[in-house]
Amino acid sequence: MKHYILSITSLTVTIALFAAAASASEGQNKPIVPKEKTMLWNGRDFTGWKLFTREPGHDVTKTWSVRNGLLRCEGKPAGYMRTEKEYADYLIHVEWRWPEKGGNNGVLVHMSGEDKVWPKSLECQLYSGNAGDFWVIGGLETAEHAGGGPRVKGRRTLKLKDSSEKPPGQWNSYDIICKDD
């Protein structure tokens, strides 16, 4: 069985990390619009986060852990973590590396609906060699996907430019901006 390990540090986010928006029913609490930089991950534990995997009853700490101030994702079983609060109009800053071999991971934004693998969302891809691509998940519809175009390949939208992604073992950074959402 192949295990992918993703190390994430510096979740200095001006809102959210890894599955940036909490799922909330329509008409309930309004999303928080951040006015200043907010650290959503404290570097020690999962306070403020909910963790889910495809396998009911699975010990999520076997999938996600914190070591030496780094968030680690083993990649098995499939799942995600999300903030307990919902946010709008934000910038997410993520730093990550693949320690030895490339792997597959992503940042889910505009998440809605029930907690399941996979929720309705837009995935900002971290997959090794494809960081910068977008995937629509769980029936999410976007104007770009509805219109098709040369960059749209099924549920995937190819990145605008060649990747500046660094090879496994080196740190990468990613800024994701969600405006007027």
pLDDT for res 151:
79
pLDDT for res 48:
92
Residue corresponding to tokens 């329509």: 26
Tell me the pLDDT of the chain (181 aa) as tens digits.
333 444 444 333 323 333 333 333 344 568 888 788 888 888 899 999 999 888 888 999 888 899 888 888 888 888 898 989 888 888 889 898 888 888 888 899 888 888 888 889 989 888 888 888 888 888 888 877 777 777 788 888 877 777 778 988 999 998 888 887 6
Domain definitions of the chain by residue range: 6-112+166-178
The DSSP result for 19-76, as a single string, is B-S----TTSSPPB--SS-EE---SSS-TTEEEEESSTT--GGGTEEEETTEEEE---
Contacts of residue 51, defined as CB under 8 A and 6 or more positions apart, other chains included, come to 60, 63, 64, 79, 80, 81
The CA distance from 24 to 86, in Å, is 7
